[in-house]
Amino acid sequence: MADSYEETLAYLWTLRRLGSRPGLDIVRALLKSLESPERSFRAIHVTGSKGKGSTAMYCASVLKAAGLKTGLYTSPHLLSYRERVLVDGKLISKKDVTEGVNEVRRVAERLLKQGRIDREPTFFEVTTAMAFRHFQKQRVDAAVVEVGLGGRLDATNTINAPVCVITTLELEHAEIIGPNLEDIAREKAGIMNRGAWAVTGVEAGRGLDIIRSEAFKLGVPLWQIGRDFSITNRTFDRDTQDIEVKTPIRTHSGLVIPMLGAFQARNAAVATAAIDLFGRATGTEIPEEAYVKGLASVTWHGRLERLDDDPLFYVDAAHTPESSREIALALQELEPGADPKESVILFSSLGDKHVSPIMDSLSVLSNTIILVPLRNERAMPLKEMELSARGHFQKIVIAQEVKDALALARAATGPEGFLLATGSTYLISEVISLVKGIPMENPNLSDPIPLKRENAAPSDERTEPRARPRSSPRSRPG
């Protein structure tokens, strides 16, 4: 067993060789031997193609402001593995990480020896079991749990959350989750369980039809943005935005969020609706001041964050075509007078991303893009990124190190423009580390390469029902 936090990180690094394996059998066996910690707290379970991390953070902050001891489980992290597990906004301690991982490791070794599991648990399975056990030991009242990948077969889908959230849908990880939007919607809808309530930020399309159909089959009442709840007023400046959110329960006025972009207003609205339902589902009183205080106190680094004003410097971990379009719209809204000739994009990506449509979205912001490789075995080769950038940008600059790319980008940004670093969480991690002088942890515990969808075991499908709450909003069919 590990004697230190550093040795624990080294052990977790060795688990990356197993990749990410969709399925629940292993993590269920671990949790059962750990006194079923997933049953010790009430949860909001959050999935979606984008926005799920921010939405989860909003939910956790409001629950904390309401006086509930609140856990938050998210992934991936930016600078420290400890960012993945928070209680009341505080990172899990190094000691608790070491003790928690050792406990899961001992259980796994015993289960392997007894033949009750047929392989070593993966990095994400160990982390999930450790996080849930930590929440149990900390006696949290509630937890907000972000899905790692997909939903139905994700290790987090061992909880029976009274409220489930599907933020958005987009074609992503198609070789793992499914080849079309309908498959992706079905996998994400797999977090819903009988007796729960659900919220979605998906507004239209075939994917929404699938979500509504799955909810109807399970008898899960579904609140949909634009139909059941909405943003009824929004104003903004460079630092904050003010919103009003109307749900079937009440109208929330005077909400201020220190996160930028219309997409963050939507995420906050989805979170507000989820908290309304959580209060009703669990019989918990959530005072209006908790929404106001909770949303206003959220900090979520790397999400359209302004790092500097000289030059004007934004970072965002957008890594899909739709999220890149959202970032482009947000910056056009925030910086309407910016000159594309004086603005610069600093970009890098993992190899499994659809980069050409991302380039198309970002090209409206700048004539210049600086490309740099990631320190990650999943990184997209520079040559491939360069080919995708051709035809979208007038000037393409290649750098070999993020430090050099950052210096070039800052020097090339003019007074009438801005610098945007985007394309990957792992790029944003390095940029924030360099700008703020915060060392990144080693080894680099970026999420491992997932195995393909056909390797998921059908027997892992979730079938156990939950008792229906005493009262619920009326369910609408798809």
Q: Do 273 and 229 meet the contact criterion of CB atoms below 8 Å apart?
A: yes
Q: Is 150 left (phi over 0), alpha (psi -120 to 50) or beta?
A: left
* Gap between the Cα atoms of 426 and 416, Å rounded: 28
- How far is it, in rounded angstroms, from Cα 462 to Cα 161? 13
Question: Distance of CA 326 to CAs 56, 103, 260, 306, 330, Å?
Answer: 19, 42, 11, 16, 6
Average pLDDT over residues 306-315: 96
Higher confidence at residue 375 or residue 451?
375
Q: Which pLDDT does position 353 carry in this prediction?
A: 80
pLDDT at 478: 33
Q: Are strands 241-246 and 251-257 parallel, antiparallel or unpaired?
A: antiparallel
pLDDT band at 173 (very low <50, low <70, confident <90, very high): low
Place of tokens 């669990």: 282
5-300+453-460, which class in CATH?
A: alpha beta
User: What's the mean pLDDT when you consider all of the chain?
Assistant: 91
pLDDT, mean of residues 440-459? 58
| Cα 102 to Cα 11, 79, 97, 202, 303, distances in angstroms | 10, 22, 8, 40, 33
- Each residue of 344-378: pLDDT tens digit? 999 999 887 889 999 999 999 999 999 999 887 77
| pLDDT confidence bin for 443, thresholds 50/70/90 | confident
Note the pLDDT of residue 448: 57
Which pLDDT score is estimated for 67? 98
pLDDT at 200 over 70: yes
Q: In the CATH scheme, what architecture does the domain 305-436 have?
A: Alpha-Beta Complex (3.90)
User: pLDDT tens for residues 1-12?
Assistant: 999 999 999 999
Average pLDDT over residues 295-317: 94
> Contact at 8 Å (CB) between 57 and 156?
no
pTM of the model: 0.92
For residue 172, the model assigns a pLDDT of 61
Q: Is the pLDDT confidence value at 403 over 80?
A: yes
Residue 237 contacts residue 255 (beta carbons within 8 Å): no
Could you tell me the pLDDT band of residue 450, with boundaries at 50, 70 and 90?
low
* Residue from 2, 5, 1 nearest 95 by CA: 5
In the chain, what is the straight-line distance between the N-terminal and C-terminal CA atoms, in Å? Answer: 51
CATH 3.90.190.20 segments of the chain: 305-436
Structure tokens at 236: 């903004």
Q: What is the pLDDT of residue 442?
A: 82
pLDDT at 249: 96
Pinpoint the residues of the chain covered by CATH 3.40.1190.10. 5-300+453-460
Q: Which two tokens stand for residue 112?
A: 């392997």
pLDDT digits (tens, 9 = 90+) for 218-240: 999 999 999 999 999 999 999 99
**29-67 pLDDT tens trace:** 999 999 999 999 999 999 998 999 999 999 999 999 999
